[in-house]
């Protein structure tokens, strides 16, 4: 989907921010799932040195990927002189992430309290 930055409307910014936040959220859920199930996925345990090295490498990759998804387009917009749109997009992305985070916290509460 090609969006002309010069004419990005609020609707386009919201959609792009939602997709970026969804990408971050999906990535976080995937990494959390792998970490939660690591004893089943990675048997036998790796030597002591490889665990911390793998964790630090994953941390660097995660920081880079999420920074690119959250900050990439806003920085691009800002550098092109669209400061208002850049600020809006960053705030929209963070807002979508907050909504997804709150939904994630509310999900177990809704289903555990209802007895499902």
- Residue by residue, pLDDT tens for the chain (116 residues) are 555 555 568 899 999 999 999 999 999 999 999 888 887 877 776 677 787 888 899 999 999 999 999 999 999 999 999 999 999 999 999 999 999 999 999 887 777 666 55
Whether the CB-CB separation of 13 and 85 falls below 8 Å is answered with: yes
How many other C-beta atoms can be found within 10 angstroms of the C-beta atom of residue 54?
13
Domain with 98 in it: 10-38+55-113
What pLDDT does residue 3 have? Answer: 52
Does residue 3 lie within any of the structural domains? no
Does residue 4 lie within any of the structural domains? no
Does residue 94 lie within any of the structural domains? yes
What pLDDT does residue 95 have? Answer: 97
What pLDDT does residue 116 have? Answer: 53
What pLDDT does residue 90 have? Answer: 96
Q: CA 101, 96, 84 angle in degrees (round to 5)?
A: 145
Q: How many helices (H) and strands (E) does the chain have?
A: 4, 0
Please state, in angstroms and rounded to a whole number, the distance separating the CA atoms of residues 30 and 33.
5
What pLDDT does residue 13 have? Answer: 92
What is the tally of structural domains in the chain? 1
């Amino acid at each position: 989907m090609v969006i002309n930055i010069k004419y990005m409307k609020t609707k386009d910014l919201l959609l792009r921010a939602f997709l970026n936040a969804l990408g971050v959220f999906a990535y976080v859920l995937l990494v959390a799932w792998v970490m939660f199930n690591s004893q089943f996925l990675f048997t036998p345990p790796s030597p002591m040195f490889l665990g911390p090295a793998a964790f630090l490498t994953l941390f660097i990759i995660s920081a880079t990927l999420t920074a690119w998804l959250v900050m990439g387009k806003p920085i691009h917009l800002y550098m092109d002189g669209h400061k208002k749109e850049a600020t809006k997009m960053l705030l929209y992305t963070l807002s979508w992430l907050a909504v997804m985070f709150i939904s994630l916290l509310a999900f177990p509460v809704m289903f555990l309290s209802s007895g499902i």
